[in-house]
Amino acid sequence: MAAGEELPAESAPSRTAVTHPKTRLNALLAARLVLLAMMLGQSVSVGVLLLLSLLRFAGIAQGAGTGALSGIVWMVTLLLLCAAALPTVDRLLVANAKASVGPNAVEPLIQLLTGLPLGRARQPIAEALAASLAQMDAAVWKARAPWLARVVQDALRNASSRESRLDRDRVWLLPLLEALARCERTEFLKPVEALAKAAARRRGAQNVARAAETAREALRSAEERHRQASTLLRPAAASDEDGLLRPAGVAMGDAELLRPAMDAGAALRADVAVVADEEKELRPHA
């Protein structure tokens, strides 16, 4: 695109539609992580202060001062506030996930489910992702392929690992495999094959194994069709004129007789010479 040339009018809305659900969900996820980190930090701090206070009262150590009790009270209060705010953030996270159901939400929802544990919010978010994947078709996936490439690869790779819980993740893994087959995304053939092999060795993952096997066969068929189509559309090589004129089973020397050795001008001159010779023979001798 030339410098200074403006983007088409439809480009900005399509990019905004992809970005907004991701921005909202990531902001809520960041808030949840901050709350969890604060709760963990306050819990550790309260535990350390309590231990030091007990050691001081027992006369074993001189760790905690007279302000230890007030510090413990302050930290416990902050811990309770974080614990009270966490369910609110989870409710907002689930509400935004459900409100964002659609092709634009597939990428951020996969990132949520393949990130840190979500607790009770995981199940409704997985259901929102399943509903979003059901709306994907080939054209929609192609338009969002740059955003989906890495997150889908990571999701399939994580699902193939030994630490994955396929019995829990089948809520969104099955729709994901169906969407890959339906949209003919052959670039994910290898991770789908790896998932099919991994699920076949796991107990309680028969549904995932069957879905991965079905998706693998569909992607293989699509890849073969694409290969054949590209072969048929390939331009043919230049033909050999000798090959067109050489009859089967004739030696090279005989084929030389059939090669068009003279152009149109040479052929005309040859005909004129033949006519002249015939006139000489027919002319009466002087």
64 and 162 share one domain = no
Judged against a pLDDT cut of 60, whether residue 265 lies above it is answered with no
* Mean pLDDT over the full length of the chain: 77
Inter-CA distances, 167 with 103, 175, 194, Å = 25, 14, 17
29 and 78 share one domain = yes
Domain end point (choices 193, 212, 233): 233
* pLDDT digit string, tens, across residues 111-164: 888 876 788 889 999 999 999 999 999 999 999 999 899 999 999 999 999 888
Asked if residue 149 belongs to a domain, the reply is yes
Judged against a pLDDT cut of 80, whether residue 227 lies above it is answered with yes
Inter-CA distances, 39 with 43, 44, 46, Å = 6, 9, 10
130 and 172 share one domain = yes
- Domain span at 34: 18-100
Asked if residue 227 belongs to a domain, the reply is yes
Q: Which range in 38-52, 245-259, 267-281 is most confidently predicted, on average pLDDT?
A: 38-52
- Say how many domains are in the chain: 2
203 and 170 share one domain = yes
Judged against a pLDDT cut of 70, whether residue 174 lies above it is answered with yes
So what's the pLDDT on residue 13?
39
3 state DSSP class of 277:
helix
